[in-house]
Amino acid sequence: MTQSITPELRQWIIEQSTAGCLPESVLDAMVKAGWQAEVAERALEQTLRDHLQQIGAGRVVAPAPATSTVGARHAIGVAVPDLALAGSPRRVDAGDREVDVIVSMGQPRVVVLGGLLSDEECEALIAAARPRMARSLTVETTTGGEELNPNRTSNGMFFQRGESELIRRIEARIERLVQWPLENGEGLQVLNYQVGAEYKPHYDYFDPAEPGTPTILQRGGQRVGTVVIYLNEPVRGGGTTFPDVGLEVAPIRGNAVFFSYNRPHPSTLSLHGGAPVLEGEKWVATKWLREREFV
């Protein structure tokens, strides 16, 4: 029996993908529902390609149309935070101040911003964080808890969302800049790296294959964007690296780097790390953005 790709099937594929389902999961569901594998793959590829072309200037960071079924499986993504950079503006409005656009990349989506925080705000944030610093932990994806990770040799702490006037001011700027609800952000984290400390290349999203990921996602879904703000300037080293594209962002006080990843997959090229501090020390503030309200 010949199966045809109906408008209803196309609409269902778009609905599942928009809801955050991975293409592999959508394809598997179609086959289990009785669709022939070759028809399911063709429908998935054609529908996702057409849908990505129609997104246009929306908030989904859409890669080039896929040319194979494998490409289509990696092409779909969810809505992500992003800056309004149509027309290549020199500066963007952050509400209470204008912020310089220094670098803007499409794939991976990386934007380097100048002057997100003033020198005084950087100093105030360090002063507020210093008494609360402890050895940094990372999310333990096999259980959903936290663990010491030898790849991350820094000290850190988390502010509660909106816990002070300074924090609220910074969060409001980020919300306006990346066009993402304030409540979808995790609490601002401040990190301190001494000489030799680093954070080896990693992804900020949670690996769907890990057993602890469903527990983590209950608090607000996947991470879809990151803002790293530099609070001081180490003498040497300490940049933010993106190994897949050979990019290193220098840690300049008050500047920030924003990057997003519209699916939990290495094809986003969002692999990044904190290079070792070679002289001096490094202070940064990190804001992770989730799909939904973070609780």
Domain boundaries, the chain: 7-75, 91-290
Give the CATH number of domain 91-290: 2.60.120.620
Q: Token match 């940094």: residue?
A: 136
Residue 59: its pLDDT value, please? 41
Strand order in the sheet with 247-249: 199-202, 272-274, 240-242, 247-249
Q: How far is CA 234 from CA 35, 210, 278, in A?
A: 58, 35, 8
Residue 144: its pLDDT value, please? 58
Cα–Cα distance, 245 to 238 (Å, whole number): 18
Residue 68: its pLDDT value, please? 34
Residue 21: its pLDDT value, please? 74
> pLDDT, tens digit, for every residue of 132-168?
999 776 666 666 565 556 766 789 999 999 999 999 9
Residue 1: its pLDDT value, please? 61
- Alpha helices per DSSP H over the chain: 7-18, 23-32, 37-55, 69-75, 119-129, 165-178, 213-217
Residue 167: its pLDDT value, please? 98
Beta strands 247-249 and 155-158 are unpaired
Query: Splitting the chain (295 residues) into consecutive groups of 10 residues, what average pLDDT does each group show?
Result: 80 77 78 84 80 51 35 57 96 98 96 98 98 78 61 86 98 98 98 95 95 95 98 98 97 98 93 98 98 97
Question: b/e string for 111-134 if b means 16 or more Cβ within 10 A?
Answer: bbbebbbeeebbeebbebbeeeee
Residue 137: its pLDDT value, please? 61
**What pTM, to 2 d.p., does this model score?**
0.73
Question: b/e string for 254-269 if b means 16 or more Cβ within 10 A?
Answer: bbbbbbbbbbbbebbb
